[in-house]
Structure 1
Amino acid sequence: MSNRAIDITLLGRTYSIACPAEQEEALIKIAENLEKQLSDLKTRSNSLCREEIVIMAALNIGHELYTEQRRNQDYVSQMDERINLLQSTLEEALVVRSSK
């Protein structure tokens, strides 16, 4: 795994980020998403400085991540319940079948 420097631009500044080759596409997409959020915040709030815009974007992204993690946890819990129900149903069916 070798790292390459990928240039990304955020709020008019270019940053060179070392990134493994297999993660370049993800980094580019993440940077594009971040740039969109930063630009949207800058447009909506001209009075915010660069640091405040970045903090607001970080909070927004953190909220998105938290919401997605909760959804995933809920999904895993639902799947665990379904698997347990299916397992119980199969066990009951085997018990009934073997007792006949």
Structure 2
Amino acid sequence: MNQPNTVTVQILDKEYCITCPASERANLESAARYLDGKMREIRSSGKVIGADRVAVMAALNITHDLLHKQQHLDQQASSSRDHVRDLLARVDHALASDTDSA
């Protein structure tokens, strides 16, 4: 029987008991399903043999995706900052012009 803070997940037909806060249970289960799917995908390609190698390749692929998405978010944030700066400059200019007219 599981302890309240222990979650059992299955990855490549192996069970792992992991301790986590109850509030993180759904996230942990989702992460385990995602990892299991990636590992099965790699294993079924037939290009990588052995659970350890499959796990490393899955970790590399997931990390690559994460870093790529982070880079994309950083670029979007930079673009948003530039846009906000431009808008603020326009507002400052409009306010300065309005003050000069008064």
TM-score (norm 1): 0.93
Counterpart in 1 of 2:42?
41
Query: How far does the alpha carbon of each residue in 1:19-68 deviate from its partner, in whole angstroms, 9 at most, with x for none?
Result: 11111111111111100011111111265111100010011001101111
Report the 3-state secondary structure (helix = DSSP H, G, I; strand = E; otherwise coil) of the residue aligned with 2:9: strand
The 4+ residue runs of structure 1 with deviation greater than 3 A are: none
> Gaps (5+ residues) in structure 1?
none
Count the aligned residue pairs: 98
SS at match of 2:20: strand
Root-mean-square deviation over aligned CA pairs: 1.3
- 1:23 — aligned with what? 24
Task: Give the AA of the match of 2:96.
Answer: V
Structure 1 residues 28 and 4, CA, compared in 2 at 3 Å: closer, same or farther? same
Indicate the residue corresponding to 2:93 in structure 1: 92
Q: Any residues of structure 2 matched to 1:65-80 within 5 Å, and which?
A: 65-80=66-81
Q: Counterparts of 2:92 and 2:34 in 1: how far apart (Å)? A: 48
| Alignment TM-score, normalising by the size of structure 2 | 0.91
Higher strand content, 1 or 2:
1
Is 2:48–2:54's contact at 8 Å kept on the other side of the alignment?
no
Tell me the percent identity: 22
